Amino acid sequence: MKAKREPFLTWAMVSLTMTTGMVEAVSFLALGPVFTAVQTGTMLLLSFAVAGIAAFSIAPCLASLAGFTVGAVLSARFESWSQVRGRRWFREALIAEALVLAGAAAVAWQIEQGRGSLTGRHYVVAGLVALAMGIRNVSTLRAAVPGMPTTVTTRAFAALIGGSPLAVDTRIAQDSRNQVRRASSVAAMFMGGLVGAWLLHDARVDVAVVLLIIAGLVLAVALSFTFVPRETISELG
């Protein structure tokens, strides 16, 4: 059973990781600078803003932290409730995430990119996107696919190096399957950031449209679970 579920879940997590890169491109380049999925970055940016560094602002960081907190709380409660009732909690959480991202896109319609022109709408969009990422973080934490956190790459990158012939750390799994997962996670985050930055700055795509693209990708991953036999991914409902 485990062998059956791994290829599909790996594909799903790689796809979600790429959308995280796109989300953070929007967040950092158009709504802040701020992060909405990687709250370690938000905490650091908030500390820089509190220290009085002119390039950083407190408001978008607080909006991100607040939205993420709400999303994580709601996600944990809903997914636990859904799992107890035998529902496909992971798919439902992804659908909820996509809907919140679509709502953020509606608020962001024709919004100006950040960098000195932040308004209340920027903060609302940042909060909504962070709410969606709070849902995402709890969902993928509960899914517990090894080496595929979807919202951070530091551990995946460290494990990729530690499990390579360069390091040969005996405490880190060195089999090819885990290494492929780690490499895919790192590459997907990079590609997502690259695509997001290209859409915003080179293709001049509206922020709202980029968010809709991300929402569509997340929804596609969610709906793909419909076509996978339930017993193949029983842990995810």
Question: Is 6 or 18 the better-scoring residue by pLDDT?
Answer: 18
Is residue 8 very low, low, confident or very high in pLDDT (cuts 50, 70, 90)?
Answer: confident
Residue (of 15, 28, 38) closest to 191 by Cα position: 15
pTM value? Answer: 0.91
Whether pLDDT at 65 is above 60: yes
Instruction: Render pLDDT for 23-57 as a digit per residue (tens, 0 to 9).
Output: 999 999 999 899 999 999 999 999 999 999 988 99
% of the chain beyond a pLDDT of 90: 62
Is residue 1 very low, low, confident or very high in pLDDT (cuts 50, 70, 90)?
Answer: very low
Instruction: Render pLDDT for 75-115 as a digit per residue (tens, 0 to 9).
Output: 999 989 988 887 889 999 999 999 999 999 999 998 988 66
Dihedral, 142, 145, 147, 152 alpha carbons, nearest 10 = -40
Instruction: Render pLDDT for 143-190 as a digit per residue (tens, 0 to 9).
Output: 878 777 788 888 788 878 877 777 766 666 667 777 888 899 999 999
Average pLDDT, the chain: 88
Is residue 3 very low, low, confident or very high in pLDDT (cuts 50, 70, 90)?
Answer: very low
* Fold type of domain 11-229: Growth Hormone; Chain: A; (1.20.1250)
